[in-house]
Every structure is written in C-alpha cells, then in structure tokens.
Amino acid sequence: MVELITVMVLIGVLAAFAVPRLMGDSATGAALFGDQVASGLRMAQKSAVARRRTVCVTTTATTLMLRVRTAVGNGPCGNVQLQGITDGLYDSKEANIVMSGAPPLLLFRPDGTIDDGNGVRLGRVDIAIKGADAIRRTITLDGGTGYVH
C-alpha cells in the first residue's frame, strides 16, 4: 500500500511539472520574459538618474538592449554597455514569446523622463508580452516620471 501511494505521489509531481513543459505551455516562459523586460526597463531608468546620463533602450520583438550615453555629441545612444549588463541578458529565450507595443527606441533621461529619441516625451506606453497568441503580461511605462509597472 505504501508503494502504491509513493508511486501515485511521484506521478502527481511529474504531472504538475513535466506535462505543461512537454505540452508547450508558454505561461511560465512569458512571465519570465515579462519580468526580464520590466527589470531591464527599471535598470535603465535607475541608471539614467543615478549616473546623470541618458540611457538608451533599443527594443525588438524578442530583445532589449541597453546603452549609456557617455559624452555630448555621440548621438542619442552611446555604444557603451551599462556596467554588468551584457547583450542578451533581457532577451526572450523562446521564439513564440514576444513583446509588442514597445517603441523601437526609448531614451531614459537623467531627470527621470522618457522620450522617443526625437525629443518628444512619451505619455503612457503599454508593452504586451505575448505567449501562444495570448497576452500574458502588460508592462506600463509613464513617460513623465519614468515609472515602470
């Protein structure tokens, strides 16, 4: 009887963890990617204010790249990575988990605001994280305060 119960518990544990992964459930992956994107955007905002430098965030459907502007005149985006932030850190690891609604260029300014690279301050921006054709998470940026939630 004890062996039967042990086998049933093991099957339950495997069903809870292995089956969703095998069936291609992207909810966990989308949640992870959403957390990574939100973390990267928060890092950009905090770094811009702390370093008193413009931080440029370039986005695609699956990537988020952060650069810091180190000197006046080297364009809106510098080519210097933030210390400790490598390319690929905030990228989606699964092709079916994507980000939509994010402007291709976001400039986090030292005063805490966010603009579009042309000097136009952004209002509210909603970034959707999609997995398996359904929105799994929405990240909201407030261009006036730089707040990411």
3-state secondary structure of 106: strand
Q: Looking at this protein, which amino acid is placed at residue 35?
A: D
148 half-sphere exposure, CB direction, 13 A CA radius: 20
| Listed residue (90, 87, 66) closest to 78, CA to CA | 66
pLDDT at 26: 66
Give the residue, 25 or 10, on which the prediction is more confident: 10
Domain of 123: which CATH number? 3.55.40.10
In a domain, 108, yes or no: yes
In a domain, 66, yes or no: yes
In a domain, 37, yes or no: yes
Question: What are the residues whose beta carbons fall under 8 Å from the beta carbon of 124, sequence distance 6 or more?
Answer: 140, 141, 142, 143
In a domain, 30, yes or no: yes
> In which band, very low, low, confident or very high, does the pLDDT at 128 lie, cut at 50, 70 and 90?
very high
In a domain, 125, yes or no: yes
In a domain, 18, yes or no: no
In a domain, 10, yes or no: no
Question: What is the C-alpha to C-alpha distance for residues 71 and 115, in angstroms, rounded to an integer?
Answer: 18
pTM over 0.85: no
pLDDT at 72: 64
Number of domains in the chain: 1
> In which band, very low, low, confident or very high, does the pLDDT at 138 lie, cut at 50, 70 and 90?
very high
Question: What is the C-alpha to C-alpha distance for residues 85 and 140, in angstroms, rounded to an integer?
Answer: 22
| Residue span of the structural domain in which 136 resides | 26-148
By the 10 Å C-beta count (0-12 exposed, 13-18 middle, 19+ buried), 135 is classed as: middle
In a domain, 6, yes or no: no
Q: Looking at this protein, which amino acid is placed at residue 106?
A: L
